[in-house]
Chain A
Amino acid sequence: MKHNTRNVYLIPYVLWIVLFVVAPILLILYYSFFDIEGQWTIANYKKFFTPIYLKMTFSSFWYAFLITVFSLLIAYPTAYLLTKTKHKQLWLLLIILPTWVNLLLKVYAFLGIFGTYGLANAVLEALGVGTKQILFTDFSFVFVSVYIFIPFMVLPIFNALEELNPSLVDAARDLGASAWTTFRRVVFPLTIDGVKAGCQAVFIPALSLFMITRLIAGNRVITLGTAIEEHFLVTQDWGMGATIAVFLIIAMAIVVIITGNRK
């Protein structure tokens, strides 16, 4: 009897996973085998291995890599300093706060800030550098993406640092390790799980970014996400869109396995 009730409680979770995780992935896989006229084909997969899509895949990975690296470079020191501050929770809240604002609104704000007559150029002008084109460049694309992803990198690293037993750091220092050695040999290895989680939380969504590529990069940066959006909404070539999605899912799975815990 007891056994039965336990299974009943399992039903919602199983249903959830089947309906919202397994079924959509299978559907994507299914659609990827149809061409634009609904004929069964594997042409989509052949097409993916043409230079245009390979180039797109490469550029997606390259930009996602840049975004992750810069996010990490900024987020780790931030998280580290956060653990040293007095009002940790308040500072953390301030970092998380921007995520409460709709993504599109934040991106639109940058259109104004980075514009020819925007704030950024006004500052450059005042500094005597002169007006530069900031909007619609690789720089603005990476900058805005990093800005958007930073909270997702800070949080797991902050948690990992919080869990770090401070007596280990004290022990390292007592045994004569320099600050840098302590960080390199003790702090960083012990928080590597947080770093990995953060990198996953940034790299994976960064691979399939699409709105920012149009609004901030003016379609000068084309990622796989842009191509999927285009195929589903404009071309109505669901097959090709699904095929790209299949490769994205595979790529993400590889990323998760590489950065996963091998305990």
Chain B
Amino acid sequence: MKKLVQLFAAVFVTAFALMYIAFHLNKAEGYSGHHTLTIYNWGDYIDPKLIKKFEKQTGMKVIYQTFDSNEAMMAKIAQGGTTFDVAVPSEYAVSKMKEEGLLVPLDHSKLPNLKYINPRFLHLSFDPNNTYSVPYFWGTVGIVYNRDMLGGKKITSWNDLWDKDLRNQILLVDGAREVIGMGLNSLHYSLNDTNKAHLREAKRKLDTLTPNIKAIVGDEIKMLIANEEAAVGVVWSGDAAEMIAENEKLDYVVPKEGSNLWFDNMVIPKTAKNIEGAHQFINFMLDPKNAAQNAEYVGYSTPNEKALEYLPKEITDDKRFYPDFTSIGNLEVYENLGKRMLAYYNELFLEFKMHRK
């Protein structure tokens, strides 16, 4: 018994000693307080050269950590115990985090570069005065298709997916709002429709699409479409850009009935230790030249109007990723429909998944 106690005591003492040493080492290297900035972003979603440049400019040390879903990111921030100074949630996550009090309001006087953002991307429903968030990248939901596999047939609308020739050729992304939204859009309803009769109608319409659907998958969709496992995919524009880079037979279209417009945004979470530095970083990323460099590296569409001037013409003229807003009927941003409505969307989605061929 005595030995057991001694053993436990020894383990505890060693652990605390190591923690103490680690704490001091970190301090010596400047890993705490005002000399570091911890950024919490999606994987491979920033040009690493920009981080180097920022470090050089400000003398701060940047720690870059990544997440792969909004839910995981929110859970980690809500739990506390982390020191993330800047995070990059999607728009629906922003409104959720706002509701749960996980965000620090931005000081706009410290963000002079905000003026370069295209006004069409400001004051959106998820954060009306941009009190908490600044847009980072934006995109759409649309259809990616393989020209060769479709034999020259063109896809321009959601309703084209119901074509009998596409039997077993469509992959869908595993997202309730994307898929139900597609059903709603194909019936010319709003993506934020809360009328249950409309939603059920959309679900019934989606059921008739089942013979054409090969699978409903997650991130694997990029690999599967690029490998020509299926001819058509319903995806986010950013993923489409990645697939097109891998397989040039692919093309992307924003369906003419309308679709979703999404945003990833920079915010300062409650866990921030270096709020001053966080503002500096956000302002740095809003700088047109930096934003252009970042957009070129990541391949998503930048909301920074001035940055477009620094981007090559073949990027900014690509109507697939910088669409002409007048030509597309209605691009809608997801509104926070409340937990109950969202649960209803998910229930319909689950029922749709269970509908057998």
> In the bound complex, do residue A111 and residue B71 qualify as a contact, i.e. CB atoms below 8 Å apart?
no
Is B1 in contact with chain A by the CB < 8 A criterion? Answer: yes
Chain B: minimal CB distance from A7 (Å): 12
> In the bound complex, do residue A214 and residue B218 qualify as a contact, i.e. CB atoms below 8 Å apart?
yes
A116-B223 Cα distance, complex, nearest whole Å? 13
Is A234 in contact with chain B by the CB < 8 A criterion? Answer: yes
> In the bound complex, do residue A218 and residue B218 qualify as a contact, i.e. CB atoms below 8 Å apart?
no
> In the bound complex, do residue A219 and residue B351 qualify as a contact, i.e. CB atoms below 8 Å apart?
no
Produce 1/0 per residue, B273-310, CB < 8 A to A. 00000000000000000000000000000000000000
Interface size on A, as a range, is 20 to 34
Find A219's partner among B216, B343, B347 (CB 8 Å cutoff). Answer: B216
> In the bound complex, do residue A234 and residue B176 qualify as a contact, i.e. CB atoms below 8 Å apart?
yes
How many A-B pairs have beta carbons closer than 8 Å: the answer is 72
Chain A: minimal CB distance from B232 (Å): 14
A5-B5 Cα distance, complex, nearest whole Å? 13
> In the bound complex, do residue A136 and residue B354 qualify as a contact, i.e. CB atoms below 8 Å apart?
no
> In the bound complex, do residue A214 and residue B217 qualify as a contact, i.e. CB atoms below 8 Å apart?
yes
CB nearest neighbor in B for A37: B339
A52-B351 Cα distance, complex, nearest whole Å? 7
Q: What is the number of residues of chain B that contact chain A, defined by CB distance less than 8 Å?
A: 29
Is B228 in contact with chain A by the CB < 8 A criterion? Answer: yes
Produce 1/0 per residue, B29-73, CB < 8 A to A. 000000000000000000000000000000000000000010100
A237-B345 Cα distance, complex, nearest whole Å? 12
A43-B171 Cα distance, complex, nearest whole Å? 34
Find A234's partner among B168, B215, B346 (CB 8 Å cutoff). Answer: B346
| B residues less than 8 Å from A115 (CB atoms) | 224, 227, 229
Is B350 in contact with chain A by the CB < 8 A criterion? Answer: yes
> In the bound complex, do residue B350 and residue A218 qualify as a contact, i.e. CB atoms below 8 Å apart?
no
| A residues less than 8 Å from B229 (CB atoms) | 115-117, 135
A61-B227 Cα distance, complex, nearest whole Å? 34
Given known A117-B228, A214-B174, A227-B350, contact A236–B339 (CB-CB < 8 A): yes
Is B314 in contact with chain A by the CB < 8 A criterion? Answer: no
> In the bound complex, do residue A218 and residue B346 qualify as a contact, i.e. CB atoms below 8 Å apart?
no
Chain B: minimal CB distance from A242 (Å): 14
Produce 1/0 per residue, A101-122, CB < 8 A to B. 0000000000100011100000
> In the bound complex, do residue B343 and residue A235 qualify as a contact, i.e. CB atoms below 8 Å apart?
yes
> In the bound complex, do residue A52 and residue B354 qualify as a contact, i.e. CB atoms below 8 Å apart?
yes
Is A222 in contact with chain B by the CB < 8 A criterion? Answer: yes
List residues 202-252 of chain A with CB under 8 A from any CB of chain B. Answer: 214-215, 217-220, 222, 227, 230, 233-237
A215-B229 Cα distance, complex, nearest whole Å? 13
A111-B354 Cα distance, complex, nearest whole Å? 22
> In the bound complex, do residue A136 and residue B214 qualify as a contact, i.e. CB atoms below 8 Å apart?
yes
A189-B69 Cα distance, complex, nearest whole Å? 51
A4-B104 Cα distance, complex, nearest whole Å? 55
| B residues less than 8 Å from A234 (CB atoms) | 71, 176, 346
A52-B168 Cα distance, complex, nearest whole Å? 24
List residues 39-91 of chain A with CB under 8 A from any CB of chain B. Answer: 52, 55-56, 59
Produce 1/0 per residue, B314-357, CB < 8 A to A. 00000000000000000000000001101100110011011010
Find B215's partner among A36, A56, A219 (CB 8 Å cutoff). Answer: A219
> In the bound complex, do residue B350 and residue A222 qualify as a contact, i.e. CB atoms below 8 Å apart?
yes
A214-B227 Cα distance, complex, nearest whole Å? 18
| B residues less than 8 Å from A133 (CB atoms) | 168, 214
A111-B353 Cα distance, complex, nearest whole Å? 20
Given known A115-B227, A117-B228, contact A230–B346 (CB-CB < 8 A): yes
Known: A115-B227, A218-B216, A235-B346. 18 other contacts (CB 8 A): A36-B343, A52-B350, A55-B354, A59-B354, A111-B220, A111-B224, A116-B227, A116-B229, A136-B215, A214-B174, A218-B215, A220-B216, A220-B356, A233-B71, A234-B176, A236-B71, A237-B339, A237-B346
Query: What are 27 contact pairs spanning A and B, CB under 8 A?
Result: A8-B1, A36-B339, A36-B340, A52-B347, A59-B354, A111-B223, A111-B224, A115-B224, A117-B228, A117-B229, A214-B216, A215-B220, A217-B215, A218-B214, A219-B174, A219-B215, A219-B217, A220-B356, A227-B350, A233-B69, A233-B71, A234-B71, A234-B176, A234-B346, A235-B342, A236-B71, A237-B343
The 7 A-B pairs with the shortest beta carbon distances in the complex, nearest first, are A218-B215, A219-B216, A136-B215, A235-B346, A36-B339, A222-B354, A219-B353
